[in-house]
Structure 1
Amino acid sequence: MSAEGAPVPVAVITGAAGGIGTRLMRRFGAAGYEVVGLDLGTALPEGEDRYLACDITDQARVEATFATIMSRTGRIDVLVNNAGISAIGAFEDHGVDIHRRVLEVNYLGAVACTQAALPALRATRGRVVTMSSVAGFAPVLGRPAYVGAKHAVTGLFDALRPELAADGVGVTVVHPTFVTHGLREAAARADGTERSTTGAQVTPDDVARAVLRAVRRDRDRVLVGRIARLSWHVRRLAPAGYVRLMTRRLRK
């Protein structure tokens, strides 16, 4: 309970040990939430009782972890599906195993966590936030497995929004542009080169700040960064022009 007797809201954040996850933990904690961070056990900081080890691609583990969260906190007000991995390269650079792994983490992991948290979110009339990307609404060159997974997760949560609205549960989809200190890769690039980006990047804290603001304002969709906002509009108004511009910049 808070000093005023009101229950302390609880935020559960997946991928909590990564760059964006760490900032989400700080932002929500500073905003008065009790935060619970989920990540692989090998990634977690030592001596931090705010974190729980959880492989979100293991459904049984996810269900057990959310049962533990409820036994500790008694409620979940916000779930942030932040965990994700990428895979950089051409379509033929990665076999089905890499495509499957990227889909398991980015899409099926979000499905498993949302299903596990949903009874608690219904009880609090809470909100689920899912981290997509510019790659979730536009074709981004050089990472087809990631684009496919992010399109899938965007489509799913856009479809869930009206379904869950009847229970008072909000759905926010977040689309950052390229983020500094980006995602872990499912496989190293065959040529050993760094990922390509286009336009100004945003920081993990930019993303975390935008997520917290979206939760406070009950926003359905958030475009983080100037390039994300520009891409959203150009992709719809001039799709062929968007593809030409993106292809030219990412192939530099």
Structure 2
Amino acid sequence: MSRSSLDGRVVVVTGAARGVGELLARRLAARGARLALVGLEPDELKNVAASLGGEAACWTADVTDRSAMAQVAADVLARFGRIDVAVANAGVATGGPFLDSDPDAFDRVIQVNLLGSISTARAFLPALVDSHGYYLQIASLAAITPAPLMAAYCASKSGVEAFAHSLRAEMGPKGVKVGVGYLSWTDTDMVRGADEDDALRDMRARLPWPTNRTYPLEPAVERLVAGIVRRSPHVYAQWWLRGMQPVRGYLPSVIGGALGQREMRRAAPALARAAGMRRGLVGRGGAADESARTSSPHAP
């Protein structure tokens, strides 16, 4: 795609009610794209779509529901006639020690982030084959380096990264480009929600620069937009993430060894104070997911 070639292109964004997904939709619309917004918060989605004008529409759906996502794909095709880009952005997070974790919240992170991305790909890739389109999977620094107290999120993001790399080889001969987007700690409801946990916040503050910073949302999203325009295989929302790739093979032994264990000992008092506290999904997006599942009799 050239800089102007988003004009008239149909882009699907999941998790579009807030955060990365919302701003990404706005920036893509500013480049001339027509947007199909998917998420769990109908009022927020409608507000975003309305603010983008007649070239945007929204669908309320749980990305882990294969039937619902297949229907969304059919509806988007009926509405717009084609699909050129799909961005698997929907995600949730929880934190804390694995043995103290809420099993339902832990499993839900895997369901939404990994299985939801797979459902998204299954729903939209056939249309992308027809358009020779582009599929962008949003991953994370958590896919590159493991971290204590983040087992569910790291596992899910490592999974979607591997899934997208596998898809790239399969879909290339069909004319579909597949990319992986990497973000470090970015100023969203999810990250702000994680920072409400004392142990997580303090441990993150002790990470080496530049991994200990929270980065502004706008520049990160602009990098994602540029990656979509270029149909890039790898998109780095913060400049330094590219440099993590050559050293990623060494990180599990470092973080799982002396460094990580030292930080866990430091975190022990804060973890002890929080013992018995329910650690559900973080941020307003996490609350929306829990609310949607509670209110739906068919929730997974």
Residue deviations 1:57-100, cap 9 Å, x none? 11111111111111000111000000000111111121432232
Q: 3-state DSSP class of the match of 1:219?
A: coil
Contact kept? 2:224, 2:237, Cα under 8 Å: no
Residue deviations 1:19-72, cap 9 Å, x none? 101111111101110011111135624453622111111111111111111100
Work out the number of aligned pairs and report it: 244
The alignment-based identity, stated in percent, is 27
- The amino acid across from 1:8 in the alignment is G
* TM-score of the aligned structures, taking structure 2 as reference length: 0.73
- Residue 12 of structure 1 is matched in structure 2 by 12
- Residue 118 of structure 1 is matched in structure 2 by 125
Q: 3-state DSSP class of the match of 1:69?
A: helix
Seen in structure 2, the aligned counterparts of structure 1 residues 184 and 68 have a Cα distance that, compared at 3 Å, is farther
1:233, distance to aligned residue in structure 2 (A): 3.4
- Residue 105 of structure 2 is matched in structure 1 by 98
Q: 3-state DSSP class of the match of 1:44?
A: helix
Asked which structure has the greater CA Rg, the reply is 2
* TM-score of the aligned structures, taking structure 1 as reference length: 0.86
1:153, distance to aligned residue in structure 2 (A): 0.7
User: Which region of structure 1 is more displaced relative to structure 2, 163-172 or 227-236?
Assistant: 227-236
Q: 3-state DSSP class of the match of 2:174?
A: coil
Which residues of 2 match residues 13-162 of structure 1 at below 5 A?
13-42=13-42, 44-46=44-46, 48=50, 50-162=57-169
Among 212, 222, 225, which residue is 1:209 paired with?
A: 222
Q: Distance in 2 between matches of 1:169 and 1:100?
A: 31
Q: Distance in 2 between matches of 1:24 and 1:46?
A: 16
- The amino acid across from 1:40 in the alignment is L
User: Which region of structure 1 is more displaced relative to structure 2, 106-115 or 36-45?
Assistant: 36-45
Q: CA RMSD in A?
A: 2.7
Q: Which has the higher helix share?
A: 2
Contact kept? 2:91, 2:112, Cα under 8 Å: yes
Among 163, 170, 180, which residue is 1:163 paired with?
A: 170
Q: Which runs of 5+ in 2 are unaligned?
A: 1-5, 51-55, 268-300
- Residue 193 of structure 1 is matched in structure 2 by 198
Q: 3-state DSSP class of the match of 1:99?
A: helix
